[in-house]
Structure formats: C-alpha cells, structure tokens
Chains A and B, each alone.
Chain A
Amino acid sequence: MAHHRVQQWATFARQWWVYDATWQCPFRSAPAIIKHLQGKHKPIYHPTNDCGDHVVVINSKHIAMEGDLWRTFKYSHHTGGKDSEDPDLETFSENVPDEILKNLSGQIQQVMTVPKGIHEYTEEEKAEFPALFDWPQDHIMMRSGPSKPKQ
C-alpha cells in the first residue's frame, strides 16, 4: 500500500537544465542560472540543504555583450596565493558531450527575447515594410568588423 503521505518522487533528485545563451546578456543570465545552481527554484529550498541542480550553458560564444565589453571586460579571479594567476575560462568550443546531453531534463527560460536580424527577413518582407525614404545605394545596413577602441 502506497503511503501518499510520504511520496517524494524526485524531490531530492539532482536535475540537469540547459540554457541557450544565444543573444543573451551574460550579466542578466547569471542570476537566472545561479537560482538553479543554488536550488532557489524549488519550494523545498533551505540554505543548509544541498538541493541545487546542474546547468549546461550552450552557445555561450553567441552571448550579447554591450558596447566594447567583448574587448574591455576582464574576468578577474585571484585566490590570494603567492603564485596564483587569473585562470583561463574553460569552454566547450565543440559540441557538448553526449553523456552530458542525455541527462538534460529541462530548459531555463531566456532572460531576453532574441531579436530577428535584418538578414533573416526575406526580400518580400523588407519590401512590404513601410519606408519613409529610400536608402542611398552605398549605404551599409549592418556594421561589420571591430569597433574603435576606447580612448
């Protein structure tokens, strides 16, 4: 006979979440990921209870950094030891291993809406969009290449 009073199916299980970082602000994404790592998304959360989950962040090289932060932002980490140096960030430049992907059971909601690029619209949609004036022939719609460094 099942004791429904004490049913705790998967309550204390450690789940795996995936987060798609495409066009996401890393500084806004971090609180959403931290919440899942600490277990604060579960009603059973307690500071002394180890109820955190695993999070796999994919497409991390497609994050949206503001301004020139791609060049100027420094991820500093110093342990305070005599010979400690800033460690290199370990990233999966290739695909995520299958033994990690097969554990995934949910997806974290993105913090920002992914905008649609000008190149993703078809020519018909561009033509139908109301325009007040025509661009000159030599106008470039999207900036390409690195921006000027800050002085």
Chain B
Amino acid sequence: MVFLTLFNLARNRGPDKYWRVQQQLRMSWHFRTRTRTCYRIGMNVVNKALMYSYNGRKLKKEQMKYLWNTRIEAGAGEHGLTRRELLEGLARSDILLDKKVLSELAVYEPRTFQSLTEIAKKTMSDTRVGKPLNVLYEK
C-alpha cells in the first residue's frame, strides 16, 4: 500500500489482512474443498505446498543429474565406453560440454555423439595410465 502522508504510514501496522488473505488465495486457487476458499483452513495446506516446492527445487536438480548420467552411460555403452571414460576423455581433450548437452546429443544427434566418443577414445588411449580400455572382468 502506498502512503502519501506520514500520518498514515505511522498508523499502518503490518500487512493488511485483506492483502494477506489475497496472497494466500492466489497460491491455493487449484486446491480442493474449502482449502481453496477459506483462509484459516487453507493455511497449513499452503505452507505445506510451499515446503514441497522448496524441496522439489533441489530434488529436481538431483533427479535430472541422475537422468543425464544414465543417458550418457547408455550412449557411451553403445560405442564401447563407460561414462567415466567418456567424460574423462572429453575433459582431457578440452571439450567442455556439460552432462545436459551430452545427454541431448546422445538422444537427438547420435552421429555427433559417436564422433565425440571416438575423440575420447583416442585421447584416453594416448594418455592412458593403467589398465587398457574395455577389458572384461578377470578374477
């Protein structure tokens, strides 16, 4: 609210109840029963929804990373590489593509992804230390 006079500003104590109710109703318009219309009944539901959305913003990032990793693993596996070998090879080749872009390339541009795996393979075989690539498990 805008106060043009100093007297009204001093008299104002906190947010007006009308505006507080309207703020909550804007967030509860898609609920069911009286939680969408009544302020007092919908108070806990709106707070819980805000908690869920706050946590979901973190969970979404984790789940998307998990999905990207799975897709990169699948795309690299088609060309005989693991995800770690592909990412390590690209990093050593100074190809700075993140996991989101790599997973999209694996789905929508498989030829581009294949050329990236070949670059990673060559770099890893040139700068390899330790066991060779794609070796079966031997006991």
Interface residues of A (CB under 8 A from B): 28, 40-47, 109-113
Contacts and interface: CB of A to CB of B under 8 A. Distances in A.
A93 B75 CA distance: 36
Counting chain B residues whose Cβ lies within 8 A of the other chain, the interface size class is 10 to 19
Dominant secondary structure of chain B at its interface with chain A = helix
B88 interface: no
The interface residues of chain A, by DSSP majority, are classed as: loop
A47 B107 CA distance: 15
Interface of B: 67, 70-71, 73-75, 77-78, 103, 106-107, 110, 113, 136-139
Contact of B74 (A41, A110, A111, A112): A41
A45 B136 contact: no
Contacts of B138: 112-113
Contact of A113 (B77, B78, B136): B136
A112 B137 contact: yes
A110 B136 CA distance: 8
Nearest to A41: B74
